[in-house]
Amino acid sequence: MSVHELVPGVLLPGFAGPQLPEWLRAELQRGLGGVCLFAGNVDAGDPDGTARLAAAIRAVRPETLVAADEEGGVVTRLEGRDGSTLPSPAQLGLVSAAVAERVGAVLGERVRRAGIDLLLAPSADVNDNPANPVIGARSFGADPYEVAARVAATARGIRSRQGVSACVKHWPGHGDTDVDSHRGLPTVPAATVARHAEPFAAAIREGVPAVMTAHIVVAEWGAEPVTVNPDAIARLRAEGFDGVVITDAVDMAAIADTYGLGGGAARALAAGADLVCLGNPELKGEDAAAQYAEVTAAIAAALDDGRLAPERLREAHGRVARLAARMTAARTAGEGETDARAPMSVAPDDVAAIGAALAEASDPSAVSALARIERIVDARAGATQAAATRAVPVVDTLRQLAGPASGGGSGVTVVVADRPSAAQRAVIERVRAAGESVVVNVGAIPGGFDAAVVQLGADSRLSSAIVRSWAGESR
């Protein structure tokens, strides 16, 4: 096989819709490494549709990785229409690591039955910046060692489901940033990276086979983002990780606005990445086939002019191929042996523990005020940590509770927020000046709000169920 023929094998593109497009079928025949599924590939009205789509992909090329971001909480693809029924990492950070392991097993079973074998989770980011615009409730918390325990536990739970691998992210840590790498280029000092290192080290000790890079600049490591920085990726290898290095989506502004989509992909491979995630073409209305063609052309040009060494591409291709072969063997070995008893939902006792922990973290007066809701204001304008789903189940539930069934009486305004940004603080202050109000925080816990707060830690269907139970008890 010529070196140019290896190019598809190091790419992880997305595509539009719930059917396999012809351009993607052709690339699978050419040896495409993997496919990344997003919410637009999931037909919420067809529970078995995602598994059939994955089967159609593998019918063309059996050793194809099928990946998805399915974190639980605010980031879900399989439940993107209505919101996740699984806890967020922020919620799991309030309970024992044993609960996180059990939830990891549920998550692994769900994606396994959907035909997904490369789970782009969990997040090992330490969210110790309450104003972080992109991580927030996707993190298990602000303490590196507590986060590490839950990252390792979640990875164990995922691994317990045959034929599913975890990919920990976003190395070396996106938790203390005030810039969303979808929209700009964050910079952190090396001291922050050192402070946030333990969850990634724990994941590597746990044997995760894949690590996703963050599009952040570590000032002392040079001016280039980690994803395209050879020194940075060499540091990851020096930490003992010899698995597949996967990029975060190269269509994000932190990479694409500086290097271009194709240029960023070529640079990432040259820097030491093994599998390049192209991103979700539907978010910006991009033509997925054209996007993919741009990337393959740029990588070919980099091979031709020496910016990408053939041996580096062969190394990347080999790592991806070995992981795909291992996952294919595990999946094939488990076919026909589905355990109907394997949990597909979180155990009631674990849900109760999460609810109790959220209640303990909340202001009691704010929880009791849920029985007197008159108005709801969603302060999360523009980019929010819930951007991975269009669903706003907590807001929808609060609006329902504000109806006649809420009991009337002196009304309370509820402000839904997910971080103490200047814009969200301004909304909270304006509402507070007008009358009685409480904040419902669906972001990181505690959240950094100077107000009476109901702590939920996710805008999800699970959070909505907890709100309903509290509101009922408060009446």
Secondary structure (3-state) at 36: strand
CATH of the domain at 127: 3.20.20.300
Decide if pLDDT at 337 tops 70: no
Residues 174 and 258 in one domain: yes
Q: Name the pLDDT band for 343 (thresholds 50, 70, 90).
A: confident
Active site residue 450: no
- Tens-place pLDDT, residues 411-457: 899 999 999 999 999 999 999 999 999 999 999 999 999 999 999 99
Residues 320 and 447 in one domain: no
Residues 124 and 40 in one domain: yes
Active site residue 215: no
Instruction: Decide if 39 is inside a domain.
Output: yes
Instruction: Decide if 162 is inside a domain.
Output: yes
Residues 132 and 243 in one domain: yes
- Is residue 441 within 8 Å of residue 417, measured between CB atoms? yes
**CA within 13 Å, CB half, 266:** 25
Residues 325 and 436 in one domain: no
CA 226/CA 171 separation, integer angstroms: 8
Structural domain harbouring 221: 3-334
- Tens-place pLDDT, residues 357-367: 999 999 999 99
Residues 205 and 294 in one domain: yes
The secondary element (H helix, E strand) that includes residue 165 is strand 165-171
- Residue 168 vs residue 403, higher pLDDT: 168
Instruction: Decide if 353 is inside a domain.
Output: no
Decide if pLDDT at 407 tops 80: no
Number of domains within the chain: 2
Residues 93 and 230 in one domain: yes
- Is residue 153 within 8 Å of residue 100, measured between CB atoms? yes
Instruction: Decide if 76 is inside a domain.
Output: yes
Residues 305 and 375 in one domain: no
Residues 212 and 121 in one domain: yes
Question: What integer is the mean pLDDT of 225-242?
Answer: 97
Q: Of 316, 334, 352, which residue sits at a domain end? A: 334
Number of H helices, E strands in the chain: 17, 14
Task: Locate all alpha helices (DSSP H) within 66-188, ordered by sequence.
Answer: 89-92, 97-113, 144-159
Decide if pLDDT at 386 tops 50: no
Residues 15 and 137 in one domain: yes
Q: Could you say which of 182, 196, 215, 317 is catalytic?
A: 182
Question: What integer is the mean pLDDT of 193-221?
Answer: 97
Residues 135 and 212 in one domain: yes
- Tens-place pLDDT, residues 10-31: 999 999 999 999 999 999 999 9
| 105 token code pair | 């097993």
Q: Of 334, 353, 378, which residue sits at a domain end? A: 334
Residues 255 and 382 in one domain: no
Q: Could you say which of 117, 125, 176, 248 is catalytic?
A: 248
